[in-house]
Amino acid sequence: MTNTEAAGTARKTGTRKSAGTAAKAAGKSEPAPATELEVRNPATGALAGTVPIDTADTVAAKVRELRAHQPAWEALGPDGRKEWLLKLQDWLVDNTDRLADVLQSETGKARVDSLIDPAFSVDLTGYYARRAAKFLADEHPSPHSPLARVKQLTTVFRPYQVVGVITPWNFPLAMPVIDVIPALAAGAAVILKPSEVTPLSAVELARGWREIGAPPVFEVVTGAGETGAAVVGNADYIQFTGSTATGRKIAAACTERMIPFSLELGGKDPAIVLADADLDRAAHGIAFGGLFNAGQVCISVERVYVEAPVYDEFLAKLTAAVREIRQGVDGRKPEFDMGALANENQAQIVQRHVEDAVKAGARITTGGKRTGVGTLFEPTVLADVDHTMSCMTEETFGPTLPVMKVADEAEAVRMANDSIYGLSASVWSGDKDRAERVARQLNAGAVNINDVFANMFSFALPMGGWGLSGTGARWGGANGVRKYCRQQAITKPLLPTQTKEPLWFPYSPAKLTVAMAAMRAAGTRGLRRIDLPAIIKTVRGM
């Protein structure tokens, strides 16, 4: 669930303040449109803050302003932009505690989880700030043929003017930074629309940009689906992270406007535990991979396939590891490992998946219910599951780990690939070569061997989904900034030019014969390279 779908959730977790209260009291049937959103902590219900609901006209006006300031930002060049990005990095470091406070207030996360966002943001900002000049440098590809060596070939990377970034609620600071920073480094201006469930961290990021005195090329707009649609309707490139259902709508809207887009969508990531795995490491790693941030990670482990010989032993170790997780939310105290789900709708999805699985024959080995405090749901292990159950086929995005017994490696691969999603996966084995062989058979954009989330912290690798998990990718080293650029091809003569080229009008059969002979000699093989009679016949037949 993401921005446009979360509008209903926002009404459950908070309220929309309407300017029509007085009108309603006066007996009018239609209240005025809401102008403000209340943001509430899902664990406690406490009011975390309010944000305006930006209209389509407001979004369009902000995009026009960004478009006006973007040329000067681009003209600074990568090194000039680096200085501003590094100042923002300093600001992120200096304001880590405040950012964690704000983030925790709108998500109900455990304190440790709330500190991950600023730390991750600092790391990524430094990576792209310092490398953008290298990544965006002109390229001079080698000509494909000796005949083309009379030209210098250049590829130039020119940014889209305004990049629209639409982010979900699971990492309210890190998710914006993941895409905003590479786009700014590329020379684009950026308009960010965060989830209406957790907009406060994004507002803080924009405040930081203003506080360091940076050029006005980064804006945040807040609101629900209508605001997001306006971003899609006005920006020049769209980066969206969220559900497959919403991604389809955005893709259709972008295609209608003929603008490029990149989508990271749903996931149902499998973990394969082979019989030769270090079961202790696998149990602890999968517990973390499935339950970090209460399971609200795009690349969370959501399905576990275990070879039959070690199924019972692994299940016992996983259950023990999950039972060690300390759940709760208590301000700035660090003693809790896992906090709340982001909203009531998400808690209900998790509860439905667990209840449906149990009705179909699954066993709960630990957890399995809500705690009674806000949206907290116990970390849960489900045993003896299969692919008839929603917990194995639908995205849960919550603190559950369904575990299925498989006969062998081949069945594990087959079941792991039995999904509409393909974001990432993990393989656990004592034989790393075997694990890599299995990894290369999985239909996923990334596979971690004997680990989880490693690809998410490896900015040199691409992060993108296969199947209904999305299209395009973020990061991948240079591609992480180049994706926000239009590629421009420039050719420049290396030799003195003539008044007329040999192939310009009027055509000359003799010159055509020479030109075609040279092209054939340079591009073909064997005797075909020197078949001059055939060339003459072709020219005479023109």
- Distances in Å between the Cα of 254 and the Cα atoms of 57, 229, 235, 237, 451 are 19, 10, 10, 8, 36
By the 10 Å C-beta count (0-12 exposed, 13-18 middle, 19+ buried), 433 is classed as exposed
The question of whether 264 is a catalytic residue gets the answer yes
Q: Write the DSSP symbol of residue 370.
A: B
Closest to 196 (Cα-Cα) out of 50, 324, 66: 50
Residue matched to tokens 């950026």: 190
Residue matched to tokens 């003896």: 384
Question: What are 120-125's contacts with CB under 8 Å, separation 24+?
Answer: 120/171, 120/174, 120/177, 120/457, 121/92, 121/173, 121/174, 121/177, 121/181, 122/89, 122/92, 122/93, 123/457, 124/177, 124/178, 124/181, 124/459, 125/85, 125/86, 125/88, 125/89, 125/92, 125/177, 125/181
Among 254, 298, 391, 485, the active-site one is: 298
Closest to 52 (Cα-Cα) out of 203, 257, 277, 168: 203
Among 74, 196, 204, 264, the active-site one is: 264
Distance of alpha carbon 367 from alpha carbon 196, whole angstroms: 30
Is the preceding peptide bond at 199 cis, omega within 30 degrees of 0? no
- 97: Cβ–Cβ under 8 A, 6 or more apart, which residues? none
- 539: Cβ–Cβ under 8 A, 6 or more apart, which residues? 509, 512, 513, 516
Count other Cβ atoms within 10 Å, centred on residue 448.
24
Amino acid identity of residue 144, one-letter, is H
- 207: Cβ–Cβ under 8 A, 6 or more apart, which residues? none
Helical segments of 14-164, H only: 21-25, 56-75, 77-94, 96-107, 111-135
Count other Cβ atoms within 10 Å, centred on residue 144.
11
Helical segments of 160-278, H only: 174-186, 200-211, 225-234, 244-257
**Are 152 and 202 in contact, with CB atoms under 8 Å apart?**
no
How many degrees, rounded to 5, is the angle at CA 116 between CA 111 and CA 117?
110
Q: Write the DSSP symbol of residue 146.
A: G
CA 190, 129, 187, 93 torsion-angle sign: positive
* H or E element at residue 416: helix 409-416
The question of whether 298 is a catalytic residue gets the answer yes
Active site residues per annotation: 264, 298
